[in-house]
Amino acid sequence: MTVQDDSNDFSLLGHKPALYVLFFTEMWERFSYYGMRAIFVLFLTSTFAEGGWEWSNERALALLGTYTSLVYVTPVIGGWIADKFTGYQKAVALGALVMTLGHGAMALETETTLYIGVGLLIIGNGLFKPNITSIVSGLYEKFPERKDGAFTIFYMGVNSGGFIGVLLCGFLGENLSWAWGFGLAGIFMLLGMLQFWFGRSIFGEVGVEPSKKVDLSDAIENKTEEVEEKVPAHVQRDRYIVVGILAFFVVFFWASFEQASGSMTIFANKFTQRVLSGGSASIFKIVDTLITIVPLGVITWVLLKLFAQTFKKISLSNIVLGISFLSVWAIALWKLSVILPQETTEIPASWFLILNSLFIITLAPLFSKVWESKYNPSATVKFGLGMILLGVGFGMLAWGSASIPQGAKTASVSLVWLVVAYLLHTMGELCLSPVGLSYVSKLVPAKKIGLMFGLWYLAIAIGNKLAGFVGSYIDVIVNKYSMSAFFLIFTIVPVTVGVILILITSKMKKMMHGVH
C-alpha cells in the first residue's frame, strides 16, 4: 500500500494521520507566535536592569499594533504566491524558515535585528498561515462531510500551541533572559518546519504543485465546490451591506480584545499583585502544575498514537517531533522544579495570557452545543453578545483598578480581576470570532468569497492596529485621569456597539433574506 493510499484511511482517532502531522506543525507555529508575543511588550518596556530596553509604553504598543495588524494582511499575498508559483507545501516550509530567522534575529536583541525580525515574522506568517489551512482542506476535498471535524481538530492545535508557547517562552523570558524566550520560539519553529518537511510524503500530491487556477479565496479560507444559486441583484446588495456592517463593527471588537498582549499585559506587570504566599501560593502551584501537566499529557497521548501509525513511513519527521516533545517536557518539568519549592511565588506577567487558550479549550464545546440547539441566536445577536461580554470584562478591570491613584506607576490589584476579564473576553470571542467567517461565506456568492474574506481580514487588521494605537495612550490617560478611566473606554465602546447590533437585529435579518 502506498503512503498516499494509507493516509486516506481515517485510522487515527477517526481522521487521517496526515491531519495530525499538520496539527503538530500548526501547534509549533502558534507556539512561536504567541510565545514571542507574550514577552514582546514586557521586554521592550522593562528596565535596563531587568534586561529590557526601557521603551515607553506608547512606542512598544505602537510597534505591537503594526505587527499584529500586518499578519492579517500578508496571508492574502502568501496564498496567491502558493497558488501561482510554489504550491502549498513549499510555501509552508519557506514561511516556517523565514519565521525561524525572524525569531533568531529578535533573540540578538539589537534594535536593527528587532525590526528585521518583526518583518521576517510578518512575511513568514503570510506564506505559512493560509497554505497549511489549504493542505488540510485538500486532504478532505473528497470527504466534505468530514471537513468540519478535521478543522476542529486542526484548530485545537492552534490553541494548544498558543497555550504551551506562552507558558514556556513567558517563563524563560522573565526568569532567564528575554533572549531565551525569543530564542525558544525560534527553536520550536525550526523543529516544526523540519517535522513538516520530513513528513510531507504523507500528504500525497496535495499542495505539491501550484494550482492551475489562481483563486484568492485559497489565501484566506477554503471552500468546497458547489453549484451557486442565482440571487436577485437587490437581495445580494442587501447581503453585501450586512457583511459591510458586521466588518465595520468587528474592528471595534479586535481593537479592544487585542489589548491582551498590550495594555492588559502592562497592567498585569505593573499593577497586579503577582507575588503570592501561604495558601494563595499553594493554590497557584496546584493550578499551574495541573494546567502544565494535563494538556501536555493529552497532546503526548495523541503524539504516541501518531507514532504508532506513521513511524515507518515518516520516521525522520517523527524523530524530530519526539525530540521537540521531550524538550517541551524537560522545560515544563524544570519550570515546576523552580516554582514548587519556593515559599512565595511570583506569577510571570505573561502567564495570564494562557487563560484565553485555556478558556477556549474548556468552553468551546459548550458554545458549539448552544449554537446547534434551538437557542441558537442570529448573527447580529451573537455579535452583540460578544461585544457586551468583552465590554463587561473591561468593566471588571475598571472596577478592580478604581483604587489605583491618578498617575500611579505601580499598584497591587488582585489578580482575580484579570482572571475574570479573560474569562468574559473569551466568551465574547466564542460568540463572535468563529461566527464571522461562517456568515461571510453564507452571505456572498462563491466567486466573491476570496475578496470578501480579504476585506474581513482587513477589518481585523485595522482593529489590531487600532488596539496598539489606543493602547499606547495608557500612560497619558492614567496620568490625566486614572487607570479605571482607561479601561472604561474599552467598556463603554464595545457595550454600546453590542447594544446597537442587538437593536438592529430585525432589520439585519430582513437584509439577509433567509440566510441564518
Rg (the chain; Cα; Å)? 23
Q: What is the dihedral of CA 485, 490, 492, 493, to 10 degrees?
A: 140
Q: What type of residue is 258?
A: E
| Per-domain boundaries in the chain | 15-212, 232-274+349-515
Protein fold of 232-274+349-515: Growth Hormone; Chain: A; (1.20.1250)
Instruction: Give per-residue burial for 462-493: e unless 16+ CB within 10 Å, then b.
Output: bbbbbbbbbbbbbbebbeeebbbebbbbbbeb
- The DSSP result for 23-40, as a single string, is HHHHHHHHHHHHHHHHHH
Cα–Cα distances in angstroms (integers) from residue 246 to residues 216, 375, 444, in the given order: 21, 21, 13
Per-residue pLDDT of the chain (516 residues; tens, 9 = 90+): 334 444 447 777 778 899 999 999 999 999 999 999 999 999 999 999 999 999 999 999 999 999 999 999 998 898 889 888 888 999 999 999 999 999 999 999 999 999 999 999 999 999 998 899 888 888 888 887 777 678 778 878 888 899 999 999 999 999 999 999 999 999 999 999 999 999 999 998 888 888 654 444 444 444 444 455 677 888 889 888 988 999 999 999 999 999 999 999 999 999 999 999 999 999 999 999 999 999 999 999 999 999 998 998 999 999 999 999 999 999 999 999 999 999 899 999 999 999 998 898 888 888 878 877 777 888 889 999 999 999 999 999 999 999 999 888 888 899 999 999 999 999 999 888 767 777 777 788 867 776 777 788 889 999 999 999 999 999 999 999 999 999 999 999 999 999 999 999 899 889 888 776
CATH number, span 15-212:
1.20.1250.20
CB 399 within 8 A of CB 427: no
Predicted confidence at residue 156, as pLDDT, reads: 80
Residue with cell 524566550: 181
Cell of 266: 502592562
Sequence-separated (6 or more) residues with CB below 8 Å from residue 231: 239, 445
- Could you tell me the pTM of the whole model? 0.88
Domains 15-212 and 232-274+349-515 share a fold: yes
Q: Cα–Cα distance between 353 and 396 in angstroms, integer?
A: 17
Predicted confidence at residue 5, as pLDDT, reads: 41
φ, ψ of residue 239 in degrees (nearest 5) = -65, -40
- The DSSP result for 233-264, as a single string, is HHHHHHHHHHHHHHHHHHHHHHHHHTTTTTHH
CB 197 within 8 A of CB 83: no
Burial of 309 (0-12, 13-18, 19+ CB in 10 A): middle
CA atoms within 13 A on the CB side of 87: 12
Predicted confidence at residue 194, as pLDDT, reads: 96
User: Coil, helix or strand for 449?
Assistant: helix
Cα–Cα distances in angstroms (integers) from residue 54 to residues 63, 179, 496, in the given order: 14, 16, 36
Predicted confidence at residue 41, as pLDDT, reads: 95
For residue 180, give the nearest of 331, 339, 340 by alpha carbon.
331
